[in-house]
Amino acid sequence: MRTLRLGLAQINTTVGDLDGNAAKVLEYVVRARELGVDLLSFPEMTITGYPPEDLLLRPQFIRDNLAVLQRVVKGCQGITAVVGFVDRDHDVHNAAAIIHDGRLVDVYHKQFLPNYGVFDENRYFQAGTRCPVYVVAGIGVGANICEDIWYPDDPMRAQAHAGAQVIININGSPYHMGKRRFREHMLATRASDYSVFICYTNQVGGQDELVFDGASMVVSPWGEVLAQAAAFEEELLICDLDVEETFQARLHEPRRRRQRVASGASTSVARVHVSDDPLAEKKPPVKRRLARSTGDDAEVYSALVLGTRDYLLKNGFQKAVIGLSGGIDSSLVAAVAVDAIGRENVVGVAMPSRFSSEGSIKDARELADRLGIQLMTIPIEEPFSAFLDLLSDAFADTEFGVAEENIQSRIRGLIIMALSNKFGWLVLATGNKSEMATGYATLYGDMAGGFAVIKDVPKTLVYRLARYRNGLGPKPVIPESVIEKEPSAELRPDQRDVDTLPAYKTLDSILEAYVEEDKSVDAIAGMGFDEELVKRVMTMVDRNEYKRRQAPPGVKISPRAFGRDRRLPMANRYKGF
């Protein structure tokens, strides 16, 4: 039996921290070498962090990344490694370095450059054309990058047909709900189609609005997941591959012979010799690792925690401040913040007005007590009255309305930003996706902040996540009264969200159809919704694009988030729903 010990280094890199990323690579090299790993793979663009965006337009950034790569190469003694970086070879390439025992053996250039959703790689890179097969410890290995494996074609087809028994695919694949299942199905299909092992190494961590979930895995030629790392955590996943399985799988699929002949006639694949025998002499026994899959709510909550933690820490913030209204949104954000950076680093601020109910004030206090966070109480009645007096002449002969409601919200925004300026705390905004979609939020008021934790989380999912979080510990952290009470902005007497918006269950279904799926009025009405209501919701979404452009960034958890994925003009007269 010929075995190859694979290591998948699922690490959390930071964009632009070239030295820090390199140090992490070398740390994992030492760990893998001690465990007798023959071939160790790292995520896409390991050296630079992913995605570096317009840093790639700076020649010095590319030169510095190449210099750091050379240090990494020298540090990879006694092991073979695949490390992502940015190459410069007549043009700029998203690349993988093939390193063996302290020397750079070859470089692979990514061929399929995604240019949709959150991806913009055609802006920066030239596509590669080579499909090498590397002989590592006498075994044929193909290496490619992220998008390359999503297509049932070259480079993977050419590598497999040229004798690759193992495919190393390095990734920066961001999370959204449902993607993990889709990804596993795709990899199982590719592995069984080409009778190869697929070693899928994904990065983990938050980068601005993106969260990378890791969940790296090894898939057999039969489409079975042999090993899988945890989601949302750094991990070194080790797996021993019996490469005779690829030969056996191909014997059971004789049609592959015809495909290999046809492929060989049309595609020239270089074979690059790396090594005949494993460098590692001792191979301590390792147990097969299969991380337990979790449900959507657990995954989304973990993504929010990781995205919030990394945004704070990677930007140099130690503490966060949150306006606590006693409502469900701010309660969930506070729970996420505590889980992300610790209760001692989270400050809540209650800012009651003449319209704040006793129940909401009590709920904010109880939430702070349960979470164990500091709570500051700063009533806003005096400044609100002062503003009404200041504007009394300008507002003469008008009824109390939205302008007066929003003054309260803007006073709260001013207060919480003042605390941020004074103490260096990052303000976590608390608006959800349903509110952002319909414009049910106040510019320079409750939209003020540095990071909007739940801006991509619909209101109905907010409730599910609150109940999920309450089920994690010995006691619920979000009071049941917060979850059960009717939503209200509490900016006027007896105000309810349903006075302005449809019921959230209805609203979120319409929003998903329009925002996520671009369905027409007729199509959404055909789902059982009133046509005039559908038009009203669509109009609200389109009318409030200008607000969303001014909102802080936040964690992407849906397939189509505002800003990163869905980009519409603010000045837009098209009404052809």
pLDDT digits (tens, 9 = 90+) for 433-451: 999 999 999 999 999 999 9
Is 292 contained in some domain?
no
110 belongs to the catalytic site: yes
In a shared domain, residues 264 and 335:
no
CA 558 vs CA 223, 305, 307, 508: distances in Å: 27, 15, 14, 13
Of the candidates 526, 516, 522, 521, the residue with the CA atom closest to the CA atom of residue 536: 521
d(CA 524, CA 404): 35
Task: Return the higher-pLDDT residue of 573 and 392.
Answer: 392
The reported pLDDT for the residue numbered 144 is 96
Identify whether 563 is part of a domain: no
Of the candidates 213, 247, 273, which is a domain's last residue? Answer: 273
Do both 395 and 522 map to the same domain? yes
Contacts of residues 65-68 at CB distance under 8 Å and 24 or more positions apart, as own/partner, are: 65/18, 68/18, 68/19, 68/21, 68/22
531 part of the active site: no
User: 339 and 261, same structural domain?
Assistant: no
Are residues 127 and 263 part of one domain? yes
Share of the chain above pLDDT 90, in %: 81
> Stretch 289-294: mean pLDDT, rounded?
84
Of 273, 303, 330, the position where a domain reaches its end is 273
What is the pLDDT confidence band of residue 296, given thresholds at 50, 70 and 90? very high
What lies within 8 Å, CB to CB, of 289 at 6+ separation is 227, 228, 229, 237, 238, 239
| Interatomic CA distance for residues 410 and 202, integer angstroms | 42
Domain of residue 433: give its range: 316-549
The residue out of 239, 273, 307 marking a domain boundary is 273
State whether 353 and 218 are in the same domain: no
Instruction: State yes or no: pLDDT of 539 exceeds 90.
Output: yes
Mean pLDDT of 166-174: 96
Active site residue 44: yes
CATH classification at residue 413: 3.40.50.620
The active-site residue out of 131, 146, 199, 239 is 146
Upstream peptide bond of 51 is cis (omega within 30 degrees of 0): yes
pLDDT for residue 247: 67
CB environment 330-343: b (16+ within 10 A), e (fewer): bbbbbbbbbbbbee
Confidence band (pLDDT; 50, 70, 90) for 265?
very low
Which position among 24, 76, 110, 121 bears the catalytic label? 110
Same-domain pairing of 331 and 440: yes
Same domain assignment for residues 424 and 502? yes
| Same domain, yes or no: 242 and 355 | no
Question: Does the residue 281 lie in any domain?
Answer: no
Tell me whether strands 225-228 and 235-242 are parallel, antiparallel or unpaired: unpaired
b/e 80-89 (16+ beta carbons within 10 angstroms → b): bbbbbbbbee
Residues 260 and 323 in one domain: no
pLDDT at 477: 96
pLDDT band for position 262 (cuts 50, 70, 90): low
Per-residue confidence (pLDDT) for residue 280, from 0 to 100: 73
Residue 325: per-residue pLDDT = 92
Which backbone phi and psi does 99 adopt, to 5 degrees? -115, 135
* pLDDT for the residue numbered 31: 96
- Burial of residue 312 (CB within 10 Å: 0-12, 13-18, 19+) is buried
* Structure tokens given for 516: 């996520």
Residue 259 sits in the same domain as residue 349: no
The yes-or-no verdict on residue 577 having pLDDT over 70 is no
- Of 65-74, 219-228, 283-292, the one with minimum mean pLDDT is 283-292
Q: Is the pLDDT reported for residue 489 higher than 90? A: no
User: Which CATH number belongs to the domain containing residue 80 in this structure?
Assistant: 3.60.110.10
- Give a yes or no: residue 479 inside a domain: yes
Q: Residues 78-101: pLDDT tens digits?
A: 999 999 999 998 899 999 999 999
For residue 576, being part of any structural domain is answered with: no
Does the residue 464 lie in any domain? yes
Evaluate whether residue 38 is within a structural domain. yes
Residues 45 and 97: their CA atoms lie apart, in Å, by: 10
Does residue 571 lie in a domain region? no
Q: Identify the pLDDT of residue 235.
A: 96
Of 44, 147, 209, 490, the active-site residue reads 44
Comparing 568 with 208, the larger pLDDT belongs to 208
pLDDT at residue 256 tops 60: no
Residues 214 and 323 in one domain: no
| pLDDT, position 566 | 87
DSSP string, 440-503: -S-TTTTT-SSEETTTTS-HHHHHHHHHHHHTTSSS-SS-HHHHHSPP---SSTT--GGGTS--
Number of folded domains that form the chain: 2
Q: What is the mean pLDDT of residues 551-572?
A: 90
Q: Is the per-residue pLDDT at 410 higher than 90?
A: yes
Asked if residue 254 and residue 342 are part of one domain, the reply reads no
Q: What is the mean pLDDT of residues 450-469?
A: 97
Which of 8-17, 478-487, 513-522 has the largest mean confidence?
8-17
pLDDT in tens, 336-373: 999 999 999 999 999 999 988 888 899 999 999 999 99
Q: Where are the alpha helices (DSSP H) in 138-236?
A: 156-161, 179-194
Terminal C-alpha separation, the chain: 62
